Structure 1
């Protein structure tokens, strides 16, 4: 068996951060202007896990050889530290097996809360995975010191991707379970342990990216069991060429107990299907990177997932996207027809008779009424079919039929989604997307429109991948991290919108204009009578009339000598220029750049030049003045004469000043 491909993070060093022109962020905020808090101390590195504990007000951070706790309201305050280092003997043994010194440490990669408030902590432990429990006493974290085997719960390799999930006290994991990292095992630990079948049709050189839990019974009318969903990429067994990677979604039932004879201690409900996010061309399949599950107030479960095309992060043509999927659509695919493998190793739709019940079914009221109470009651015929037919014919497609958001030249990594209530009581989803170059995209999508990026925020001073994203939606605090730093950002910070027009045109669900205080503020907890917001169409007619505070700058230009007139708006919106009331078109005498205007004037080019941003919201065009120049053009001779007169005048002034100083000095000397 070949080694599974390892999904690595890459640096993205593109000057314009590689965003497509049709989805450029409205505003870009670089690191020096970011109002964020960061935790970074000497010796801190190897950040491997991150978890919010609302109940104790702590951010728990797993790193190399230690677990830290930071205050949720201010992560610059470290509240405790529990060390878990590797013994010298284990480190030497690890190095003898061909690993370097840094790899042969204990990277804390799993943090999960159990029902009693303790935490399950697992680390790579010098390529010998181990777990322990951690308790909190008076706000201080300490390990119990009762080390247990962690194989199958956390990878051997500190840099290999995996997935794990704690449901109550039951741990689910999808991780390579051997030293070489070549055997992926999707399993459940605890009282009723189960594993996936080691067959090529179940997993074919997979790369695990994310796993999410869905409590489907809350929406089910037939009492169906809850599900566990696993998202991953693998080489497609159904394709003619065996090296085509595709995205997958797999499902198992939580109450699965395995089979009585067939599939003993194995999943009897494991089914998988292709996950589609139409992006780029067919030769560049979209590969899933991360998944976030959002349940709205109606208990409707929606998965938001990030995808990329090319694995080469240096490819300026690579694309990234966000797609959303409804649980109901996923369930339909898993209730559909199967693919089957022929003797020729080709795959086609299974047309034979299917055993009852539908293979891979979760237990529901109908089955219970017929005496099928658990998976142990399934027939061998049914389980044998599941064992040999895990792949569904249907494809899980996005709920909108297309991506919510597409960007070119950048690589999306992590995603969290916040559900925000606007002033009119409507719910809006704000997508917070990390990139491999250390930026955070804040994006929204309104009905009938494509997704748009409101802001692009630089989280780290140096380009580094966003490895973690955790959101405390009640407070609006976002926690992120990379190898050696943890940052905290207030996603409700509206202070960067400096005018009412800017505040409303941004159409940021977090923000509204406070008419009393005269500033853009968060709508969360605000006195609603004083706030205005226009998310549907950005109607700035609600704003008080504002006037341009600064007078035009007077600029003297010489005929046929080029001059640059700068224009640097606070936003990334396109700009246009007007000469008096006429739109200025590009030409030999006027070169329009993104940051200003190069003018090579003639006599007719004198006049009032206005640089303004142009923003279109639902066919309405809004223009906002950035800067104005009153240009006066003169010929070279006039300019030379004016310069000569200025020089003579200056010389005369200097001469008079010197004479005055000399006379003053002589008078003072005469008096003495």
Structure 2
């Protein structure tokens, strides 16, 4: 009797075929860093000094670095840590402020069926204000609240304000917040049941605006990832269930949406107190071939960075849980991204029909989704014609997807035991500040370090070198050794100290960007590491090279050629060439 191969067998065969033809090669790291090295790095555990004991887990939610100070928002507690006062194997806080939910909010939360552990104040928004001070929002037992705090003593300033549309009710829900030109832009859910997803502007001189309520063309089960300010717009990055693939089962895709910072909303008849400029487009991170292999789930983005003479943003993507496991990093040109919003619109003429491009002759004028321009006929979005506003309301999706630079990912990792989900970029790495290093965090707490090498023509494509991999989570100090405990919440680059700050639910680990001392006794290993932070100096040692150093040193970042060097006689760590 013949046996039938399981479905994933055919998927694997397909992936192997793709790998042979189009998939980038996935070599392992040049260096695996021993676990005992990482476990000596400083860790923050929520203590003021070494003799103090901590009773409850921290449950860290947000981390914010302002100059040489690190603010940590956790469950019920806010910490201030001085980054220049770290000594030994633990970081201690200089100031702590507790902000708990009151008994009535907790009672109502419990009455609504929530568990006692959920009816606490989880700090989900932690921002620095332009004039100084902090703006913080917490879930407050499923009744979100916001408040201003001083940056030095962590004292509340003024009264609390409602956190509705600024902070989620549930600590498990994703949210995004940033200040731009005095206004707070947020992306979250506005209700207890998390049904009403919103992009919201508030607290500034402009009127409060929001996205259209309960309209699947605007949002369908979104998961908000990040937001950036660029030009006259705020760009929001998220993933959601695609409405345009109505002939398939639920498909999650990644999106970028934009709104005009100075949007005043529509007319009294259409889009009043709602965005008149909201548009969205799909982000395409895929490996080309006979059939594209898509990485549809966006997890993290970089800020807008200047590379290759252009403004770009990097994103970490993965495949869905029921697919072949894989992650990828794609880069997007901001000019090209903005250009997609000047292209064709997508529409569905009836609930049963497929989505098609809107003919150019049917697009009203002025062009829908644009910003009002002072000195023109339409110097305010309130003055836009109702026909144009109606079109925006019913046609928020663009026809064209935003293609990644080079039409393919810069980094691909497939068939591995982890999912890449966090990133940070050092675009001024090395002694000459002319190298780009990308640090990627994974779902199991490990950190992957890549050197991004532009092609010789400095074109849109780049190659990469997988420099090293290390375990970032320290169970000996952070406590529980479980998949949940190892979930990396954020990854921050502290340039002055040349370290990474890895935030986990129970701790923050401080890891140097390089481990040059591991190759200190062997020039061959030092050069072969291809680490732009490391060089072989005159003292016959592998040294960390500070930016602008005047020390003479040897490096070969581009090639790592060591054929002319002798062996290390066993004086090395695990180095794979």
TM-score by length of structure 1 reads: 0.72
Cα distance change on mapping 1:80 and 1:529 into 2, 3 Å: closer
1:170 maps to 183
Question: Which of these residues, 21, 39, 43, is aligned with residue 44 of structure 2?
Answer: 39
- C-alpha deviation, 1:259, in angstroms: 1.5
2:387 maps to 381
Which has the larger Rg? Answer: 1
Q: Is the 8 A contact 1:212 1:292 kept in 2?
A: no
**SS at the partner of 1:337?**
coil
Question: Which of these residues, 139, 144, 155, is aligned with residue 168 of structure 2?
Answer: 155
CA shift digits 1:227-251 (9 cap, x unpaired): 1111111111111225111111111
Deviates more, 1:402-411 or 1:439-448: 439-448
- C-alpha deviation, 1:282, in angstroms: 5.5
Question: Which of these residues, 242, 245, 254, is aligned with residue 252 of structure 2?
Answer: 245
- C-alpha deviation, 1:342, in angstroms: 0.9
Q: Is the 8 A contact 1:123 1:130 kept in 2?
A: yes
Q: Is the 8 A contact 2:258 2:278 kept in 1?
A: yes
Q: Is the 8 A contact 1:236 1:242 kept in 2?
A: no
Q: Is the 8 A contact 2:427 2:433 kept in 1?
A: no
CA shift digits 1:196-220 (9 cap, x unpaired): 1122111122222222222x2xxxx
Q: Is the 8 A contact 2:429 2:437 kept in 1?
A: no
- C-alpha deviation, 1:374, in angstroms: 2.4
1:60 maps to 71
CA distance in 2, matches of 1:387, 1:61: 39
CA distance in 2, matches of 1:66, 1:299: 43
CA shift digits 1:86-135 (9 cap, x unpaired): 22332222112111111011111111111221111111111110111111
CA distance in 2, matches of 1:298, 1:134: 40
1:142-221 correspondence to structure 2 within 5 Å: 142-144=155-157, 146-190=159-203, 191=205, 192-198=207-213, 199-214=215-230, 216=231
Cα distance change on mapping 1:527 and 1:120 into 2, 3 Å: closer
Q: Is the 8 A contact 1:279 1:286 kept in 2?
A: no
1:559-570 correspondence to structure 2 within 5 Å: 570=573
Q: Is the 8 A contact 1:416 1:432 kept in 2?
A: yes
2:242 maps to 236
CA distance in 2, matches of 1:202, 1:548: 61
Question: Which of these residues, 499, 509, 534, is aligned with residue 511 of structure 1?
Answer: 534
CA distance in 2, matches of 1:200, 1:392: 15
- C-alpha deviation, 1:471, in angstroms: 1.4
**SS at the partner of 1:540?**
coil
- C-alpha deviation, 1:166, in angstroms: 1.7
**SS at the partner of 1:132?**
strand
1:552-631 correspondence to structure 2 within 5 Å: 570-571=573-574, 573=576, 615=577
- C-alpha deviation, 1:460, in angstroms: 0.9
- What's the Cα RMSD here? 2.4
1:407 maps to 413
CA distance in 1, matches of 2:567, 2:187: 60
Question: Which of these residues, 72, 77, 81, is aligned with residue 83 of structure 2?
Answer: 72
Question: Which of these residues, 469, 488, 500, is aligned with residue 510 of structure 2?
Answer: 488
1:132 maps to 147
1:451 maps to 464
Extract unaligned runs of 5+ from structure 2. 1-23, 47-53, 456-461, 475-480
1:274 maps to 282
1:428-443 correspondence to structure 2 within 5 Å: 428-443=435-450
CA distance in 1, matches of 2:545, 2:122: 41
Cα distance change on mapping 1:282 and 1:101 into 2, 3 Å: farther
CA distance in 1, matches of 2:272, 2:193: 27
Q: Does 2:351 align with 1:371?
A: no
Cα distance change on mapping 1:117 and 1:44 into 2, 3 Å: farther
1:295-444 correspondence to structure 2 within 5 Å: 295-296=305-306, 300-311=310-321, 317-343=324-350, 344-351=352-359, 352-363=361-372, 367-368=373-374, 370-408=376-414, 409=416, 410-423=418-431, 425=432, 427-444=434-451
2:136 maps to 121
2:20 maps to none
Extract unaligned runs of 5+ from structure 1. 1-19, 217-225, 551-567, 574-614, 616-672
CA shift digits 1:396-454 (9 cap, x unpaired): 0111211110112220111111112545x472221111110001111122134632321
Q: Is the 8 A contact 1:207 1:232 kept in 2?
A: yes
**SS at the partner of 1:36?**
coil
Question: Which of these residues, 263, 267, 272, is aligned with residue 271 of structure 2?
Answer: 263
**SS at the partner of 2:272?**
coil
1:17-32 correspondence to structure 2 within 5 Å: 22-32=26-36
CA shift digits 1:52-102 (9 cap, x unpaired): 010xx2100001111001111227131000011122332222112111111
TM-score by length of structure 2 reads: 0.84
